[in-house]
Each structure stands twice: as structure tokens, then as C-alpha cells.
Amino acid sequence: MLHATEHGDYDKIITFFSLKQGKISVIAKGAKRSIKRFAGILELFSVLNLVWSYGRGRGLPILKEASAVHVFEQIRTNITRTAYASYWCELVYRWMEERHRQVSVYTLLEYALDQLHCGSVFEHVLHITFQLRFMNISGFRPGFDHCNICRMPLERFGRSSVAFDVRRGGILCEKCAPQRTGSLCLSKGTIKLLCWVLNAPLEKLDRLRFSRQAIEESLRMVEAFVAYHLGKETKSLKFLKQINSALPH
């Protein structure tokens, strides 16, 4: 379950991301007042089995039944985990088209939520991984192998600090990088980690260990990269940043 909005005095419009049909919105009649039908079921992030039907008109499908498969209670009882999950779900909600099946995105989101719930993979590693892989699936894979302008391979770069151009979506060598201060910079070590994140099997992510520098560089890059292609920074990301800035370092 990705999103819920109130509809009239008693109903809710619920948006799900399904394995077989992609993003789909349904109307849950009486969900705001019903004690029995959907009580405790229609919760964000939950994996549900749904039954819906179509009315005579051209409106939204009507939700008939909903049963919980996995509610991820350890996410909703922790504000930091809730902030991460909210951001990931908002990306899927805003980016994916209605009724566009995308098994890779479904698998990625379910994996990230499950690992966030279990705590098996560090939260920042999950956060970086989800964004990178989501962008890759969506056709916006960042270029880490060579300079985006002159095509010089990364191994021939003279400096250990490498510029990343968000607009071009790739790294730039010393000659092609803008001389202005404030550019995004990644160490070669961070770039190697990000390449590993993009290509390794998801089940091996628990082996990753990011240094403090690698975490900070990676987060700045991926969050700026996503925001650029989305056209804005989402409210859920702003909230996540506020939560993380308040935590002790």
C-alpha cells in the first residue's frame, strides 16, 4: 500500500503497487467509519491480498475485501524507519504509471521494506540501494565507468576525488569537470561501492560496509540525482532529512 486520501465523508481512495498490474487505485467505501470491514488492514507499506470489482460507471474499482499478508509492524513503530519507507513508497507512487506492470520495482520495494522491518541491512545502505536501483530500472542509470563528456575511463582519472554532474547523470574527469565550487564530489572508493550496489544480488547487500565519508557522499549524490529527474524534492525526503539531522552522530 503506497498512498491513501480521504474521499467524501466516509470513503478513502487507496493506491497500491501490485505484482501483476502495477500501480492501481481503488475506492474503499466506508473505510473512514467502518469498524469491521477494513479495521487495522489498510495501513501504509503493508502487503495485502485484495478483491475489488468494477461498478457500472467509469469510476475507480471498488475494494471489496482486504487481508494482510505482511504488515511490517516494526517499520510503523519506529519514526526513522517510517520516514525511509514513506520516501520509497512516495517515489513509486509519483513515478510509476497506472496499470504499468513492473515486476522489478515490486521486488525491489518488497525487499527494501522487508529488510527495513527485520533490520538485517543497515538503513543507509538500504536507502542508497533502493534509490540507485529504482533509477536504474526506470532508465536513469548513473554513469560511473567513464567521463560523461570525453569518455575517459575512471581508472585513468588522476585525482582520487571525482566530480559527479547530476544534470548529465555521470562522472566527469578533471579536464571536463566545471571549476566552480559546490560540485558533487565522490571518492573513487565510493564510486566502486555504488557500482557494487547497482550490480550485486540483493541478498548480498548485508555484506556492504560504508565508511562515514562514503555514506555522506552517496546520499548527497543519489538524493540530488533522484530529485533532479523527479523535478523536485519530495515532502517525505525533507521529513527524512529532518529526522536524520536530529539523530546523534
- Reduce the DSSP state of residue 153 to 3 states and report it: strand
Domain boundaries, the chain: 1-71, 75-249
pLDDT above 90 (res 26):
yes
Contacts of 221 by beta carbon, 8 Å cutoff, 6+ apart: 142, 164, 166, 184, 186, 194
> Both ends of the chain: CA-CA distance in Å?
32
What is the reported pLDDT for 121?
84
CATH topology of domain 1-71: OB fold (Dihydrolipoamide Acetyltransferase, E2P) (2.40.50)
Lowest mean pLDDT, pick from 30-39, 199-208, 223-232: 30-39
Per mean pLDDT, which range of 135-139, 168-172, 202-206 is the poorest? 202-206
Name the average pLDDT for the chain: 90
pLDDT at 120: 82
| Grid cell of 232 as nine digits | 523536485
Kindly indicate the confidence band of residue 109, based on its pLDDT and cuts at 50, 70 and 90. Answer: very high
The enclosing H or E element of 167 equals: none
Is 66's pLDDT higher than 80?
yes
Q: Which pLDDT does position 35 carry in this prediction?
A: 53
- 179 pLDDT tier (thresholds 50, 70, 90): low
Architecture of domain 75-249: Up-down Bundle (1.20)
* DSSP states along 11-25: EEEEEEEETTTEEEE
Between 31 and 80, name the one with better pLDDT.
Answer: 80
What is residue 29's predicted lDDT score, i.e. its pLDDT?
A: 87
The pLDDT, as a whole number, for residue 182 is: 52
The residue length of the chain stands at 249
pLDDT band at 59 (very low <50, low <70, confident <90, very high): confident
At residue 180, the pLDDT reads 52
- Residue 163 neighbours by CB under 8 Å, 6+ apart: 171, 172, 177, 178, 183, 184, 185, 186
Q: Which three cell numbers stand for residue 24?
A: 492501481
The predicted pLDDT at position 30 comes to 78
Distance CA 165, CA 182 (A): 11
Mean pLDDT across 40-50: 90
> Is 75-249 in the same CATH topology as 1-71?
no
Give the CA distances from residue 166 to residues 174, 225, 226, 231, in Å, rounded to whole numbers and listed in that order. 16, 5, 9, 12
Bigger pLDDT: 232 or 106? Answer: 106
The three three-digit cell numbers of residue 160, written as one number? 582520487
